[in-house]
Chains A and B, each alone.
Chain A
C-alpha cells in the first residue's frame, strides 16, 4: 500500500510541476492546486499510514499520528487562500496587462525585448 501511495504522490507532483511550468496563469493555478494535493498527502504520510486508527481517544486501540494531521488541516485551508490569491492575481494581471501570460507579456514580445536589451539598458 505504501508503494501505491508513494506512486500517487509522485504522479501528482509530476503533474503539478509540469503545469506550474506552463506559460498561462490558469494552468499555473491548476498546477499549484495539484502540487498542494501532493504536498498535503506527502506531509500526512510522514505520520505513516494506518487503517482504522483515527486519533480520537477511545475509538481504537492504536492511534494514527495526530500531529501531521493537524498540520495538514491548516495547510489545506491556507492552501485554499493561496490558490485564491494566485487566481485573483492572475485575473488582475490580465485586467491590467491585457494578457494572461505569467511573464506579463506574450512570448513574441519577450524576443523583441531581448534583442533590444543588448544595446541599451534595462
Chain B
C-alpha cells in the first residue's frame, strides 16, 4: 500500500493505544501515545524535500467508482503545512497534557479523543475527494464535542460542547450541500478536477449558491462573525484542547477550506465582498471583545477570533500575495497562540485562577514562564523581530494594494491599523495585568514555576516564534513557497521574506498600531467604564434560549401528532393513504378497461346483496358484539362462496375452515371481553370516520374494478406448463405452495408458528376477570357439555380425520393439501374440546402442540435440506411413480413430506392458540416457568 495512506491511518490505530496503555504510568501512556503520530510525522517529513520541489502525491483506493466514491489522499504543499501543524503541535500537546491533567482525569480517554481528532483533522486536509473531506470535517466537529465536554460534570463544559457542535455541525450540513452542488457542476468529486475547473464553476448558474454554502461551512468552523460566539464558550475545554483544537488546528479548518478552494471559488466580486467583509468585521470585533475579557482564556479566545478574521480578510482581498500572507500568518498564529494557551494553562494550573483581576505580579513567582509568555504575546502584538510582525507587515502591505471596495478602499488599511491597535492593547493587557501591576489578590494557591517538562512545549513554540521572526527565509521559506503554490494551483508571485524592508508605509502602520495600542491600554479605565454602560448580553444564554424555544415548538407539534392515541395514529395513516392512492387514480382516464366482463346472474346478485347487508349489519350492530360476530360469519361464508364460484376451490376450502376456527376464537375471546361496546364516539367523529371509510372503500373498489377489466399479463403460464412435468402434480395451486414457491411457504409456516408461540406467551399469567353470568345477569348454563353434542362429535371424529387424510393425500393433484387438511383436523379436535371440556380432553389428548409446531417446521426444512444431498438447490422436489399390486400405480413426491410439515404446523399453531385460550376458562390455566 502507498505510504500516503498510512499517514492518517497511523493516528487512527493510535486512537486505541492510550486506552490500552492507560493502566501503566502516565508518562508511559504519554510516550506510547506519541509513538504512532511521531511515525506519521516522520513519514511526512521524509516526503518534504520532494514537495519543496513542487511535487504532489496522490493515492486512491476505489470504492464505488461510478458514483465518484473513493478513499483518496493527497499530499502537496498546503497539505504538508497543515499536516506539520497538526502532528507537530499535536505531539507537543500530548507532552503538555501529561502534566496538565490531574490524577482524577482519565488520561487514556483524553488521549484517545485527542488522537482521534488528530486523525479526523489529517483526514480533512489530506482528502482528495469532496465527500471525503466532508466526512472528516464532521468527524472533527464530533471529536471537538467530545473534547470540550471532557469535564462532563461541569455545566459550562456540556453547554459549550453542545453549542460548538450545533454551530459547526449546522455549518457542516451547509458545506455538504455546497460540495454536492460543486461536484455536480464539475462532474467529478475528485479534488484535483475541482481545482482545475475554476472557470467552469465561476461561470455556472449555481456559483453563488455554492459560494454561500461552502463559506457557511468555513465561517462556522473558523468562528467568523456572526458565528464567532461558540469559540469563547468552547474554552470550558481542558487547556491542551484549547491550545490544539481551538487555536492551532480545528478552527483553521475553515481557513484551510477557503485556501483549498481558492483557485475554484475565488476571483469574483461576490467572493471578495463576502469573505473580506466578514473577515474585517471578525477581525475588529474579536479584538474589541478581547480587550474586555477578565478571563485569561477568554482573552485568548477572542484574540483567536480576531486573528482568524485577519486571515479571512487576507483570503478575500483577491491578490495572490494576500494568499501568501494568509498562509504565513496561519503558521505564525498557530505557533504563538498555542504557546500562549499553554502558558495560560500553566498559570491556571500553578495559581488556581484565570481571572486577570486576581492574577497580578506573577513575574516574581514564575519569571521563566513569564518571559516565554511575554515573547509569545509580543509576537501576537506584532513586535519586530518576532514572527507575528512579519505576517502583520505583509497584511498591512496588502491592505494598501487592494481595491475591492472601489473608492472606499482606503477604509480597509485604516480599519486594519485599528485592528492592529486593539491587538497591541490586549497583548499588553495580557503581559501587564498578569505579570506586573502589583501583587496577586486572593489566589487559591501560591504561584510557582511548573514542572520542567510542562514548559518544554512552550519553549519549543516560542523558540520557533523567534527564529521565524529573525530568519524567516531560512526557516519557513520553502514550506511557505510550497504551500502557496499548492493553494494557488499556479505559479507563486515574487515576495520578499526579509525582516527589514526599509522605511515604508506598512512600517508606519505598525508603528501607529504599537503606539496606539499602548495608549489605549493606558487609558483602558475610560473604555471599561464606557463598555459597562451596555447591558451585559451572554451569547450562551441567547443560544440556550433559542435551543429551548425550538424544543418547545417541537414539543407542541409532537403533542398534536403524537398524543399516544392509536386512534389518532390510524386516522393519520388512513388520511395519508387516501391522498397517496387517490393521486395516481386521477391520472387514469377511464375506469373500465378493454377486457370483456362476465355477465351477471341472479345468484351472484343475491350473494352480493347478502354480503352487503351482512357487512353493513356488522358495522351497524358492532356494539352488540355477539350479533356482530354472527353477521361477520355470514360475510365469511359469502366470501367462501365467491372463491368457489370464481374457480378457486382450494381457497374456498381454506376460507371455510379458517372461518370456523376464527369464529370459535372470537367467541372464546368475547367470553373475557365486555359483551357490549359503550357508545362514545361523538357524531362528528362518526361522520369523519364514515367519510374516510367511504373514500377508501371507493378507491379500493375502483382499483379492483380497473384491474379486473384490464388484460392480464401473468407469469403463471410457467407454473401451468411445468406443474405436472416439474412438480409432479396437477393441482397447480398446491404445487406452487409446496414446490415452486416452497421457500415462501416455509417462511409462512414459520411465521404461523411464531405467532402461535407469541400468543401462548401472552396467555400465560394473564389475570382475567371471569364473568359468572351474561350481560343481562343470567348465569351461564350448568350443563356446559350436553350429552347429545358429546356423542355426535365423538362419533364424527374418525370421519373428520379420515376426510382430512383424504384431503391431504389428494392435495397434490386435486383441491386440498396440507393447509386445508391441517385446518380440518384442528376443527375436528376443537369440536371435541367444545363437546367434552378441557379436563376430559387432557387425559385423552397427549399431544404437545409446541412440539408439533417445532417438528412441523423441522420436517419441512429438512425436506429442503435433503435436496443438498443430491447436489440440488435447497427445496428441490423429487417425485416418481411406483406400482404395488392391488393398489396400482401411485406417486411418491418429496413435496408430500414438505406438505406434512405444513399440516403439522397448522394443527399445532391452531390448537396451541385455541386450546390454551379455552383452558383459561378452567382451572388448567397455562403457567410459564418462573425463569423468564
Q: Could you list which residues of chain A lie within 8 angstroms of chain B, going by C-beta atoms?
A: 1-15, 17-27, 29-30, 33-34, 37-38, 40-42, 44-59, 63-67, 69-70, 72-74, 76-85, 87-92, 94-96, 100, 102-103, 107, 110, 113-114, 117-118
CB closest residue in chain B, given A7: B701
Of the candidates B571, B632, B654, B755, the one whose C-beta lies within 8 Å of that of A73 is B654
Complex contacts, A22 vs chain B, CB 8 Å: 622, 677, 681, 689
Of the candidates A34, A47, A88, the one whose C-beta lies within 8 Å of that of B913 is A88
Q: Is the CB of B696 within 8 A of A70?
A: no
Q: Is the CB of A81 within 8 A of B704?
A: no
Other CB < 8 Å A-B pairs besides A27-B622, A37-B636, 16 of them?
A3-B705, A11-B612, A13-B693, A14-B693, A15-B693, A18-B690, A34-B635, A38-B700, A45-B646, A53-B647, A69-B648, A81-B751, A81-B913, A88-B917, A94-B768, A100-B674
Of the A-B pairs whose beta carbons lie under 8 Å apart in the complex, a sample of 28, sorted by A's number, is A1-B598, A1-B599, A1-B601, A5-B642, A6-B701, A7-B608, A9-B704, A15-B619, A18-B689, A21-B567, A21-B693, A26-B677, A30-B625, A52-B647, A56-B649, A58-B730, A65-B714, A72-B651, A73-B650, A73-B651, A77-B823, A81-B755, A90-B669, A91-B669, A91-B673, A91-B766, A102-B567, A103-B564
Of the candidates A48, A100, A110, the one whose C-beta lies within 8 Å of that of B673 is A100
Tell me which of A19, A30, A33, A73 has the highest count of chain B C-beta atoms within 10 A of its own C-beta.
A73
Complex contacts, B655 vs chain A, CB 8 Å: 40, 76
Of the candidates B661, B693, B724, B733, the one whose C-beta lies within 8 Å of that of A66 is B733
Q: Is B758 among interface residues, defined by CB-CB distance under 8 A?
A: yes
Shortest distance from the beta carbon of A6 to any chain B beta carbon, whole Å: 4
Q: Is the CB of A8 within 8 A of B612?
A: yes
Shortest distance from the beta carbon of B839 to any chain A beta carbon, whole Å: 22
Shortest distance from the beta carbon of B905 to any chain A beta carbon, whole Å: 10
Of the candidates B629, B698, B707, B732, the one whose C-beta lies within 8 Å of that of A57 is B732
Q: Is the CB of B704 within 8 A of A6?
A: yes
Of the candidates B564, B696, B762, the one whose C-beta lies within 8 Å of that of A92 is B762
CB closest residue in chain A, given B564: A103
CA distance A52 to B49 in the complex (A): 89
Complex contacts, B642 vs chain A, CB 8 Å: 5, 8, 41
Q: Is B526 among interface residues, defined by CB-CB distance under 8 A?
A: no
Of the candidates A9, A17, A70, the one whose C-beta lies within 8 Å of that of B693 is A17
Shortest distance from the beta carbon of A118 to any chain B beta carbon, whole Å: 8
Interface size class of B (residues with CB under 8 A): 35 or more
Evaluate whether A23 and B680 lie within 8 angstroms (CB atoms) in the complex, with A2-B708, A48-B712, A103-B567 already known.
yes
Q: Is the CB of A6 within 8 A of B708?
A: yes
Q: Which of B178-186, B371-379, B434-442, B737-745 contacts A (4 or more CB under 8 A)?
A: B737-745
Of the candidates A12, A51, A56, A85, the one whose C-beta lies within 8 Å of that of B615 is A12
Complex contacts, B264 vs chain A, CB 8 Å: none
Residues of chain B from 769 to 788 with CB closer than 8 A to chain A in the complex: 769
Q: Is the CB of B692 within 8 A of A44?
A: no
Do most interface residues of chain B lie in helix, strand or loop, or is the interface mixed? helix
What 10 A-B pairs are tightest by C-beta distance, nearest first?
A: A10-B701, A14-B697, A6-B705, A18-B693, A57-B730, A1-B598, A81-B755, A66-B732, A70-B736, A17-B693
Complex contacts, B636 vs chain A, CB 8 Å: 33, 37
Of the candidates B648, B758, B913, the one whose C-beta lies within 8 Å of that of A44 is B648
Q: Is the CB of B647 within 8 A of A64?
A: yes
Evaluate whether A57 and B720 lie within 8 angstroms (CB atoms) in the complex, with A15-B619, A30-B628, A90-B673 already known.
yes
Complex contacts, A51 vs chain B, CB 8 Å: 598, 645-647
Complex contacts, A67 vs chain B, CB 8 Å: 714-716, 719, 736
Complex contacts, A38 vs chain B, CB 8 Å: 700
CB closest residue in chain A, given B760: A88
CA distance A53 to B9 in the complex (A): 68
Of the candidates A2, A42, A73, A84, the one whose C-beta lies within 8 Å of that of B733 is A73
Of the candidates A54, A72, A83, the one whose C-beta lies within 8 Å of that of B815 is A54
Q: Is the CB of B666 within 8 A of A87?
A: yes
CB closest residue in chain B, given A103: B565
Complex contacts, A79 vs chain B, CB 8 Å: 658
Q: Is B813 among interface residues, defined by CB-CB distance under 8 A?
A: yes
CA distance A109 to B647 in the complex (A): 52
Complex contacts, B720 vs chain A, CB 8 Å: 55, 57, 63, 66
Q: Is B366 among interface residues, defined by CB-CB distance under 8 A?
A: no
Shortest distance from the beta carbon of A119 to any chain B beta carbon, whole Å: 11
Q: Is B511 among interface residues, defined by CB-CB distance under 8 A?
A: no
Complex contacts, A89 vs chain B, CB 8 Å: 762
Q: Is the CB of B697 within 8 A of A70?
A: no
Of the candidates B704, B716, B769, the one whose C-beta lies within 8 Å of that of A42 is B704
Q: Is the CB of A5 within 8 A of B819?
A: no
Q: Is B574 among interface residues, defined by CB-CB distance under 8 A?
A: yes
Evaluate whether A23 and B618 lie within 8 angstroms (CB atoms) in the complex, with A18-B689, A63-B720, A85-B759 already known.
no
Q: Is the CB of A88 within 8 A of B608?
A: no
Q: Is B752 among interface residues, defined by CB-CB distance under 8 A?
A: yes
Shortest distance from the beta carbon of A13 to any chain B beta carbon, whole Å: 4
Evaluate whether A21 and B574 lie within 8 angstroms (CB atoms) in the complex, with A44-B651, A77-B819, A84-B913 already known.
yes
Evaluate whether A9 and B700 lie within 8 angstroms (CB atoms) in the complex, with A1-B597, A70-B737, A88-B759 already known.
yes
Of the candidates B563, B574, B595, B651, the one whose C-beta lies within 8 Å of that of A76 is B651
Q: Is the CB of A44 within 8 A of B643?
A: yes
Complex contacts, A49 vs chain B, CB 8 Å: 598, 646, 708
Shortest distance from the beta carbon of A14 to any chain B beta carbon, whole Å: 3
Evaluate whether A1 and B647 lie within 8 angstroms (CB atoms) in the complex, with A80-B661, A85-B759 already known.
no
Complex contacts, B635 vs chain A, CB 8 Å: 12, 34, 37
CA distance A95 to B765 in the complex (A): 10
Q: Is the CB of A34 within 8 A of B615?
A: yes
Q: Is B814 among interface residues, defined by CB-CB distance under 8 A?
A: yes
Complex contacts, B694 vs chain A, CB 8 Å: 14
Q: Is the CB of A2 within 8 A of B698?
A: no
Complex contacts, A94 vs chain B, CB 8 Å: 672-673, 768
Complex contacts, B666 vs chain A, CB 8 Å: 29-30, 33, 83, 87
Q: Is the CB of A87 within 8 A of B669?
A: yes
CA distance A33 to B618 in the complex (A): 11
Q: Is B541 among interface residues, defined by CB-CB distance under 8 A?
A: no
Q: Is B857 among interface residues, defined by CB-CB distance under 8 A?
A: no
Evaluate whether A77 and B622 lie within 8 angstroms (CB atoms) in the complex, with A4-B608, A49-B598, A57-B732 already known.
no
Q: Is B89 among interface residues, defined by CB-CB distance under 8 A?
A: no
CA distance A118 to B648 in the complex (A): 57
Q: Is the CB of B570 within 8 A of A21?
A: yes
Tell me which of B563, B565, B639, B701 has the highest count of chain A C-beta atoms within 10 A of its own C-beta.
B701
Q: Is B906 among interface residues, defined by CB-CB distance under 8 A?
A: yes
CA distance A5 to B601 in the complex (A): 12
Evaluate whether A95 and B567 lie within 8 angstroms (CB atoms) in the complex, with A30-B629, A73-B819 already known.
no
CA distance A90 to B622 in the complex (A): 16
Complex contacts, A107 vs chain B, CB 8 Å: 680
Shortest distance from the beta carbon of A61 to any chain B beta carbon, whole Å: 12
